[in-house]
Amino acid sequence: MARREDGRFLTGQGSYVDDYRPARLLYAAFLRSPHAHARVVRIDASAALTLPGVAAVLTGEDLARSAKPVRAASKTPAVKVTSFPPLALGKVRHVGEAVVMVAAESRYVAEDAVERILVEYEPIPVVTDMEGALRPESPLLHDEAGTNLLVSREFARGDVDEALAGAALVVRERFRFHRHTPVCMENRGCLAEYATGSGTLTLRSSAQCPGLVRDVLSDLLDMPEHRIRVIAADVGGGFGAKASLYPEEIATCVMARRLGRPVKWIGDRREDLLATTHAWDEIVEAELGVDRDGAIVGLRAQVTADVGAYSIYPWTAAIEPVQTISFLPGPYRVPTYRGRTRGVATCKAPLGPYRGVGRPPAVFVIEGLMDRAARQLGLDPTEIRLRNFVRDEEFPYKSPSGIVWDRSSFTASLLRACEALDYAAVRAEQARARAAGRWLGVGVASYVELTGIGSAIPVSPGMPIATGTEAATIRFDPAGKVTAVFGVASHGQGLETTLAQIVADEVGVPIDDVRVIHGDTEVSPYGTGTYASRSLVLAGGAAILAGRAVREKMLVIAGHLLEADPADVVMTDGRWAVRGMLDRSVAAREIARAAYTGARRLPTGLEPGLEATRFYDPYYGTASNATHVAVVELDRETCAVKPLRYVVVEDCGRMVNPLIVDGQVHGGVAQGLGAALLEEIVYDDQGQLLSGTLMDYVVPSACEVPWMEVHHLETPSPVALGGFRGMGEGGTIGAPAAIANAVADALVPLGIEIAELPVTPDRLFRLIEHARARG
């Protein structure tokens, strides 16, 4: 089914933040730090304030008088809590950090004003290397923490040291997954309006989580939540980048409240690359022990993540490093495990969630180790995986980090992927290519991810907010049309279509009679938003519950109208009929009209109206899994990697809309491929961002992305309502590992392993030259 939101997007009628232009609007611009680490000695904005058209200037000290500093609190001692002032207070900790905000009659004037502000900085030594930042002599980012080690945690099962000592083979590697950034095509932006008469604040923001932003603004601005409305109308991509609270949102609200005028800030791409959260950036040292048959006996690993300058709200600096170590064992039986993880502060933009969170590096590592072990044992990469997958009869299976995998299709997904690819034929082709001197490789990656997480597990460990529930309100109007309101917020996922499909099924109306409203805290039931592959599971589950409640009432009213026992009323072909007497029926619209007509048309004692709000908590959440297979060829002249085929077999449980599922996989794989081959955030050793444009940070174009063959298994989730499993992130989780393994497979004749991503042509060239020199 084609999407219902497309009509407005195709005709230029989307409503993104920057499309709003209320009367008396002021435009904001930020002066951002040119230094990676410096004390702010003095700010002189007098020349800016005299510029015609400038309304106000806000510094960190001004702002601190109107808003509390952001502190991503944590319930676990594993995380050191540090402040993140919306505008620098006392010192700056990364290039691009917001220091002063200007509001003016146009963005042009606001930028002129920024140029006239003088800030005197006193540079202090910079630290950009995460391992160097752990040394005692390293410059300290946060005095209050007393260390740059903001996160430290360990998971263990069994005696891994003994297991590895007794293993037939131990493979080890130091993996490096470099820094990336999500690059939503719409840069971040927000528009705040404060109504002085009513004391209400409205923030339109390019946010994934309007509910979460509303809650925290209430605390920071000391305003009751019911006087704050956060609207995320159309949002041009999120991918996790827009799931956190941002300094600009707070500063814009403060400025609007101060001036009593609407204030809008729309970031440009430079600001996006400098100050939107970055991702992944980890060193993983890992050892995998296997027995003679390739069965895993133990896994030992240490993750070190460069979390950048600040711990972000609400996820904290723990989200990436802890997620990586939690998911490292993958879909395998790992009898002994010790995973240590560290999150280290450096003078770079903060690390935040990006599609996959922790799992793209985790899967790169475990799948890389599996291939290394297979090569040394002379096993095919598919064989070693099949020998180690959690078997179908072993579900539910508790992983060494404590995550429980419900019934999944690890083995089936791999077998189906091999069949779809014609694995044997591809291997035969590879042998011929190799004989002809071509570098052709096949890479396999299997993974499992936790999705639709309920209240039992925090999305990020120790985080200060609860994220385990979502709600749906389903309301019939007297004309029989349905409005369904959700606290989640769509930013490309097509939730206006999929949630409408679920609602339409539950209450028995055509989908065109259902309108989905989302992303507006004023009209929705309580919720946080869309992130962590949760929306179809949580909001879809809530829709099912609310739909059932409405349907039950409809049966009662229909029974009354039809003079039949409600137990004998059935819903069929869009009408509500007496079982066995289908000519005695009423339409949904007649039931709805009766519901609002009052006692004359309703059974005695039945409350008028036809609507229900229900909350859903999937408690543990569910699992989604997939196998990706990539076939690549390396250009011997340019060292460019060309993907020739790409097969995905994914299992997201019951599919509501296969077209949308395919689209999510395609987009996810393209991002994973970019991460593996092209994209890298690069800082120099003074913390200057060298990849500050889209010429330098290379997002794949249509020419770099291969045709993708996507196949589906539909193992209904045994634990989530509706059998849904979340699937927004999987493509990006599997692709880096599949590509890396394919490149390594192509280079087997040279004995090259891929331990660093992205594997750019210059890195490959060096690896190849080095291998040749080695002979």
Partner 1 sequence: MVTVRLNVNGVAHEGRCEPRKLLADFIREDLGLTGTHVGCEHGICGACTIMFNGEAARSCIMLAVQADGAELMTVEGLMRDGKLHPLQEAFREHHGLQCGFCTPGMLITALDLLRTNPSPTDREIREGISAVLCRCTGYQGIVNAVRAAAPTLVAGR
Binding site for partner 1 (CB under 8 A): 2-3, 5-14, 16, 18-19, 21, 107-108, 182-187, 234-239, 268-269, 491-494, 659-660, 662-663, 665-671, 693-695, 699, 701-703, 705, 707-708, 731
Could you write out the DSSP letters of every residue in 643-667? Answer: EEEEEEEEE-BS-S-HHHHHHHHHH
* Least CB distance to partner 1 at residue 736 (A): 15
DSSP 253-300: HHHHHHHTS-EEEE--HHHHHHHS-BEEEEEEEEEEEE-TTS-EEEEE
Report the candidate in 277, 633, 602 with the shortest Cα–Cα distance to residue 441. 633
Closer residue to partner 1, CB minimum distance, 196 or 638: 638
Q: Which is nearer to partner 1, 471 or 669 (CB)?
A: 669
Cβ(633)–Cβ(644) under 8 Å?
yes
Whichever of 547 and 667 has its CB closer to partner 1, that residue is 667
> Can you list the alpha helix ranges (DSSP code H) found in 11-99?
46-49, 60-64
Nearer to partner 1, 19 or 162 (CB): 19
Q: CA–CA separation, 698 vs 670, rounded Å?
A: 12
With respect to partner 1, which residue has the nearer C-beta, 49 or 699? Answer: 699
Nearer to partner 1, 269 or 589 (CB): 269
CB of 368 to partner 1, least distance (A): 24
Q: Minimal distance in Å, beta carbon 156 to partner 1?
A: 38
Residues 6+ apart with CB under 8 A from 418: 382, 629
Specify the residue, 53 or 158, whose C-beta has the smaller distance to partner 1.
53
> CB of 107: closest distance to partner 1 in angstroms?
8
Q: Which amino acid is at 93?
A: R
Min separation Cβ 102 and partner 1, Å: 18
Joined tokens for residue 189: 């932006």
Which DSSP letter does residue 186 get?
S
> What is the phi/psi pair of residue 752, to 5°?
-100, 130
CB of residue 277 to partner 1, shortest distance in Å: 15
Nearest approach, Cβ of residue 357 and partner 1 (Å) = 17
Residue 329 or residue 643: which is nearer to partner 1 going by CB? 643
**CA-CA distance, 713 to 407, in Å (whole number)?**
12
- How distant is the alpha carbon of residue 367 from its chain centre? 22
Joined tokens for residue 237: 């991509």
Q: How far is the CB of 648 from partner 1 (least distance, A)?
A: 11
Report the nearest approach of partner 1 to the CB of residue 201 (Å).
Answer: 24
β-partners of residue 194 are: 201
Instruction: Using the minimum distance from each CB to partner 1, give the nearer residue, 11 or 604.
Output: 11
Cα dihedral: 39, 45, 46, 49 (round 10): -170
d(CA 559, CA 553): 10
Minimum Å gap between C-beta 215 and partner 1 is 25
Distance CA 746, CA 754 (A): 11
Least distance in angstroms from the C-beta of 696 to partner 1: 10
Place of tokens 């009367």: 23
Quote the Cα angle for 184-185-186, to 5°: 90
217, 250 in Cβ contact below 8 A? yes
Question: Which position has the token pair 């919720």?
Answer: 527
Question: Which stretch of DSSP H or E encloses residue 712?
Answer: strand 708-713
What is the closest distance, in whole angstroms, from the C-beta atom of residue 103 to partner 1 in the complex? 17
Cα dihedral 696, 701, 707, 709 sign = positive
**Between 9 and 765, whose beta carbon lies closer to partner 1?**
9
Output helix, strand, coil percentages for the chain, rounded to the nearest 5: 35, 25, 40
Q: CB-wise, 356 or 381, nearer to partner 1? A: 356
Q: How far is the CB of 232 from partner 1 (least distance, A)?
A: 12
Cβ distance 102 to 29 under 8 Å?
A: yes
Token code pair at residue 79: 């995380």
Helix (H), strand (E) counts: the chain: 19, 31
Least gap, CB of 633 to partner 1 (angstroms): 16
Please, which residue, 445 or 550, has the CB nearer to partner 1? 445
**What is the identity of the amino acid at 254?**
V
Give the residue among 554, 721, 737, 735 at the shortest CA–CA distance from 653. Answer: 721
Structure tokens at 35: 């230094």
How many whole angstroms separate alpha carbon 685 and alpha carbon 485? 49
If residue 445 lies in a helix (H) or strand (E), which one and from where to where? strand 439-451
C-beta closer to partner 1: residue 223 or 699: 699
Least distance from C-beta 163 to partner 1, angstroms?
Answer: 40
Alpha-carbon distance 489 to 84, whole Å?
A: 26
Between the alpha carbon of residue 502 and those of residues 474, 479, 490, 584, the distances in Å are 11, 20, 16, 27
| Whether the bond into 396 is cis, omega within 30 of 0 | yes
Q: Which is nearer to partner 1, 16 or 596 (CB)?
A: 16
Between the alpha carbon of residue 564 and those of residues 483, 561, 580, the distances in Å are 28, 8, 12
Q: Which residues 6+ apart lie within 8 Å of 277 measured at CB?
A: 181, 182, 240, 241, 244, 308, 312, 349, 350, 351, 352, 353, 354
Closer of 62 and 234 to partner 1 (Cβ): 234
Bridge partners for 343 per DSSP: 151, 305
Residue 136 vs 707, nearer CB to partner 1: 707
Nearer to partner 1 (CB atom), residue 29 or residue 708: 708
Nearer to partner 1 (CB atom), residue 19 or residue 685 = 19
- Decide: 506 and 543 in contact? Cβ < 8 Å: yes
CB of 656 to partner 1, least distance (A): 14
Least CB distance to partner 1 at residue 496 (A): 11
The single residue listed with the structure tokens 């949580």 is 538
The least CB distance from residue 618 to partner 1, in Å, is: 25
